[in-house]
């Protein structure tokens, strides 16, 4: 199957591309700027403007839509851009579009999540057969939050917030399986093997880094904080991934202490 991957240069895209190739698929990768890769056909396209989308979807049988812009031009890229992609895919006769979203977009009151939920709705309302996978947060994202929260010395955060980090490689494998299975016309969820409180994640992180920074508890106020403490970022569905937060940290730091 010839598969178009948007957002192919991102973390998840880098995990998806080799798995698609290993599965015997022909891969066309899209990013905003052209790239050189002898194993993948790279094309430049811009979701925010629509430039290059018609050529990108021409001749492909399925689209794996990973592209997102959480910081800037989010509505233009995630919502309007997804609409442009769906329209172009329909004109090209694409048989399956898989969209990657985030667990909690329907429960956590956060601006970026509202855009992701709106993009899901664009996909579901469109004419192209579809599937949606909501994944929990990657461990690299959680680690970045911890680094940011400890810039002033102690690790600052709400100890009762819960998360369920999932390995991006396992999400990539799940996506490849969904492509092979065909359109589900449903929203599925996929999370990591453990639900962790923030204070538990901090303890494991400090141990892996050989750090003794104290945790300074600060309660996140309002509806946003309540959603995070009540498990808005977690899922109860199975199956889940298998790689734990501790295994990620061991692979990252290798028992050598702080980096």
pTM of the shown model: 0.94
Q: What is the mean pLDDT of the chain?
A: 94
- Per-residue CA distances from 194 to 40, 190, 201, 217, 242 (Å): 35, 12, 11, 22, 9
Per-residue pLDDT, 93: 98
Q: Could you report the per-residue pLDDT of 80-128, keeping only the tens digit for each?
A: 999 999 999 999 999 999 999 999 999 999 999 999 999 999 999 999 9
In angstroms, the CA 31 to CA 26 distance is 17
CATH numeric code, 2-136+167-190: 3.40.50.720
Q: What is the pLDDT of residues 139-189, one digit of tens each?
A: 999 999 999 999 999 999 999 999 999 999 999 999 999 999 999 999 999
Residue pLDDT, tens place only, 173-185: 999 999 999 999 9
Residue 77 pLDDT more than 90?
yes
User: Taking the domains of the chain in order of start, what are their residue ranges?
Assistant: 2-136+167-190
Measured torsion, CA atoms of residues 62, 75, 226, 152, in degrees rounded to the nearest 10: 110
């Amino acid at each position: 199957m010839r598969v178009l991957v948007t957002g192919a240069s991102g973390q998840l895209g880098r995990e998806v591309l080799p798995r698609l190739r290993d599965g015997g698929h022909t891969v066309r990768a899209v990013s905003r700027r052209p790239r050189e890769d002898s194993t993948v056909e790279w094309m430049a396209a811009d979701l925010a403007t629509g430039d290059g989308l018609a050529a990108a979807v021409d001749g492909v049988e399925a689209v794996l839509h990973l592209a997102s812009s959480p910081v800037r031009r989010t509505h233009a890229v995630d919502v309007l851009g997804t609409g442009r992609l769906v329209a172009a895919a329909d004109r090209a006769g694409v048989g399956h579009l898989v969209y990657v979203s985030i667990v909690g977009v329907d429960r956590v009151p956060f601006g970026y999540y509202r855009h992701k939920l709106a993009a899901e709705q664009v996909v579901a309302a469109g004419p192209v057969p579809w599937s949606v996978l909501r994944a929990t947060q990657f461990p690299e994202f959680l680690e970045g939050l911890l680094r940011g929260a400890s810039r002033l010395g102690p690790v600052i955060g709400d100890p009762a917030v819960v998360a369920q980090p999932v390995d991006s490689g396992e999400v990539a494998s799940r996506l490849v399986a969904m492509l092979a299975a065909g359109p589900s016309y449903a929203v599925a969820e996929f999370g990591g093997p453990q639900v962790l409180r923030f204070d538990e994640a901090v303890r494991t992180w400090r141990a892996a880094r050989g750090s003794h920074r104290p945790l300074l508890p600060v309660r996140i106020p309002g509806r946003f904080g309540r959603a995070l403490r009540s498990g808005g970022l977690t899922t109860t569905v199975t199956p889940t991934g298998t790689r734990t937060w501790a295994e990620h940290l061991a692979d990252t730091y290798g028992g050598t202490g702080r980096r």
